[in-house]
Amino acid sequence: SIGAWAFAETSSLSTVTNNSAVLMTIGDQAFYRSMITSFTIGETVESIGAYAFASNSALTSVTNNSTALKSIGNYAFMSTSITSFELNEGLETIGEQAFRNTKIGEIELPSSLTSVGDSIFYGNATNVTVPFAEGELPAGWSSSWNSSNTGVVTYAPASVEEGGEAA
């Protein structure tokens, strides 16, 4: 794992590419207020801690190669300059305000999500595609998951029962 505060407030590190087959955790505040500009998440990473990359305006690119990522912590990417982030199927939890004040233009939420914190896109103009019909969000989703996001939310079509009638 990359431990808590491991590279926090580091100014000499700019690019991190993780090709490790054993790295499973990026700890809380691991790259908090660092000056990295890009980061590649390896295939085996299962969790990204709270504030892991927060308050790093130099960070413009994060590539998610993980097929194992299950959890993104509270405020993980808050106040970064990332413009995109691919959320893998299998991701179960996104913590509150995880993508607050980023520059993400569009994002698609996976159907595997079971818990989503408050205001995950707070302060953004992110267009979000949700794999559930409006009003059919799973238990565990905060009712204010999308508050203060000025983007457009596109929901999947409502469930259809046999015979073509909406459920």
Give the pLDDT confidence of 47-81 residue by residue, as tens digits: 999 999 999 999 999 999 999 999 999 999 999 99
Q: Is the pTM of this model over 0.85?
A: yes
Which phi and psi angles does 78 have, rounded to 5°? -60, 135
Please give the Cα distance from 111 to 91 (Å, whole number): 9
| CA–CA distances in Å: residue 85 to residues 65, 138, 163 | 10, 22, 38
pLDDT tens-digit map of 111-165:
999 999 999 999 999 999 999 888 888 888 888 888 889 899 998 887 655 555 5
